[in-house]
Amino acid sequence: MKGATFKGGTHPFEGKDLSKDLPVKKIVPTGEMVYPVSQHIGAPAQPIVKPGDHVLVGQTIAEAGGFVSTDICSSVSGTVKKIEKRLTVSGAMVDSIIIENDKEYTKIEGFGEKREYRSLSKEEIRECIKKAGIVGMGGAGFPTHVKLAPKDDNAIDYVLVNGAECEPYLTSDYRMMLECPEEIIGGLKVILSLFPNAKGYICIEDNKPEAIKVLEQQVLKEERISVKVLKTKYPQGAERTLIYAATGRMINSKMLPADAGCVVNNIDTVISVYKAVCQNIPLIRRIVTVTGEGANHPQNFEVPTGMSYKEVLEQAGGCNEKTVKIISGGPMMGMALYDIDVPVMKTSSALLCLTKDEVAEQEPTACIRCGRCVSVCPSKLVPQMMLSYAEKFDNEGFVKINGMECYECGSCTYVCPAKRRLTQSFKQTRRSVMDSRRKQ
């Protein structure tokens, strides 16, 4: 079983054994719930509740604030306490709706009601997805109803489900593939009904043979769906490398997957689509892997959005005193948290407790021009040169050698023997280039 793949990439320590065999457990919040209005790319959602209002599970509390934007629903029942700025994972203060949980979990009318997607029109399906507040859950958080509305539905040849989960330590998608394959197939069928000419591929890295087996069983009867086995390599699950590995098509930073006839969705996104369209359940929970050498009891949890990471970690049994760094997401692209009292959002995927800070331990030294950064870069860039421009604050030079094609995957920094902070500099430079472009 040799998997399809891309050129470049690297093999970080996987660390998935800590949590991969542990079934997803439900977790019940006790404290206040915090719903930031920006949990997605695009315009922030507009709150439609005010302090004192009573809300129910699944009730819309904020509505899309523009075309590229989406709704937000409450994951508990209770009373809106206030709307104020709160710290989020990214370190920014974001307007958030704070809800006092009454712990009754009274559901809104119609919640969980079965629906037949075939009886819905395409517009109704997209509206369902928007109302459910679904966003890309691989990390970026692009509103799914926008992604599923390309210029021409007939031009889409492939609907890819991203089950690569190439980030080390993360096992939430893996668990979902094992535990609810029917919902993945169901969600994919809903999406395929939007694109008459598309084939559905469920893409899985070959380090997850059990998941491949389960899903291959499931797709036996499905004409339009097949399982695509990919080679295990970081960053196999990045949108561009995934499309290339699965279809042989290439896109760059200025193109959308739809330009290559593809639509890519994460495993949990597809499940959410199924729930939204077929069961009338909006996106109000996330699968979060609590893991890392510092976690006392690694576990996969189904966490209501809005719950504090701090409480999640406490309920999971906490972390030991050797923990020096806590990351929301995986170790390659996740965000380090200095305060873990931040809410779980739609894009959260893991809480990783590291007992070793490999970044702080190793001072950068002189570049020895070993070329490793060049050979691992999935975008075929020359990170070594990009860094010398970035360090001189020469944005023009940086752009000229295609620095904007970098998607900050971290591979170059991971392999650099001189421990240079390449990706970190690129983030800053890319941001400053984007800012100056916006100003023009």
Q: Which residues bind another protein (CB under 8 A)?
A: 10, 12-13, 91, 168, 240, 244, 250-253, 255, 310, 314, 318, 323-327, 329, 331-341, 354, 357-360, 362, 365-371, 374-375, 378-382, 384-385, 401-402, 405, 408, 410, 413-419, 421, 423-424, 427
* 272 binding ligand SF4? (CB under 6 A): no
* 381 binding ligand SF4? (CB under 6 A): yes
Nearer of residues 9 and 187 to ligand SF4, judged by Cβ = 9
Q: Which of 377, 389, 425, 429 binds ligand SF4 (CB under 6 A)?
A: 377
Buried b or exposed e, range 257-269, using 16+ CB within 10 angstroms: bbebbbbbbbbbb
Distance of CA 327 to the CA centre of its chain: 14
Q: Which of 265, 289, 323, 423 binds ligand SF4 (CB under 6 A)?
A: 423
Nearer of residues 120 and 385 to another protein, judged by Cβ = 385
Rounded-to-integer distance, Cα 96 and Cα 2, Å: 47
Q: Which of 5, 315, 328, 384 binds ligand SF4 (CB under 6 A)?
A: 384
* 367 binding ligand SF4? (CB under 6 A): yes
Rounded-to-integer distance, Cα 95 and Cα 89, Å: 13
* 51 binding ligand SF4? (CB under 6 A): no
Min dist. Cβ of residue 385 to ligand SF4 (A): 9
Does residue 407 contact residue 387 with C-beta atoms inside 8 Å? no
> Taking the alpha carbons of 108, 113, 119, 122 in that order, is the dihedral positive or negative?
positive
Name which of 114, 86, 116, 90 is nearest 98 in CA terms: 86
Name which of 122, 101, 120, 119 is nearest 56 in CA terms: 101
Choose the binding region for ligand SF4 from 49-57, 60-68, 149-157, 363-371 (rule: CB under 6 A): 363-371
Nearer of residues 211 and 260 to another protein, judged by Cβ = 260
* 369 binding ligand SF4? (CB under 6 A): yes
* 406 binding ligand SF4? (CB under 6 A): yes
Taking phi over 0 as left and psi of -120 to 50 as alpha, with beta for the rest, 22 belongs to beta
* Contact partner, 401, from ligand SF4, another protein, none, Cβ < 5-8 Å per class: another protein
Min dist. Cβ of residue 170 to ligand SF4 (A): 18
- 84 DSSP 8-state letter: E
* Contact partner, 420, from ligand SF4, another protein, none, Cβ < 5-8 Å per class: ligand SF4
* Contact partner, 338, from ligand SF4, another protein, none, Cβ < 5-8 Å per class: another protein
Nearer of residues 287 and 386 to ligand SF4, judged by Cβ = 386
Q: How many residues bind ligand SF4 (CB under 6 A)?
A: 29
Distance of CA 345 to the CA centre of its chain: 10
Does residue 273 contact residue 282 with C-beta atoms inside 8 Å? no
Q: Which of 372, 390, 398, 429 binds ligand SF4 (CB under 6 A)?
A: 372
* 184 binding ligand SF4? (CB under 6 A): no
Q: DSSP for 22-48?
A: SPEEE----S-EEEES--SSSSPPEE-
Name which of 144, 106, 111 is nearest 125 in CA terms: 144
Rounded-to-integer distance, Cα 63 and Cα 66, Å: 9
* Contact partner, 310, from another protein, ligand SF4, none, Cβ < 5-8 Å per class: another protein
> Phi and psi for 65 in degrees, rounded to 5?
-100, 20
In the region spanning residues 53 to 72, those forming contacts with ligand SF4, defined by CB under 6 A, are none
Q: Work out whether strand 335-337 and strand 325-328 pair parallel, antiparallel, or are unpaired.
A: antiparallel
- Positions that interact with ligand SF4 (CB under 6 A): 367-373, 376-379, 381, 383-384, 406-412, 415-418, 420, 422-423, 426
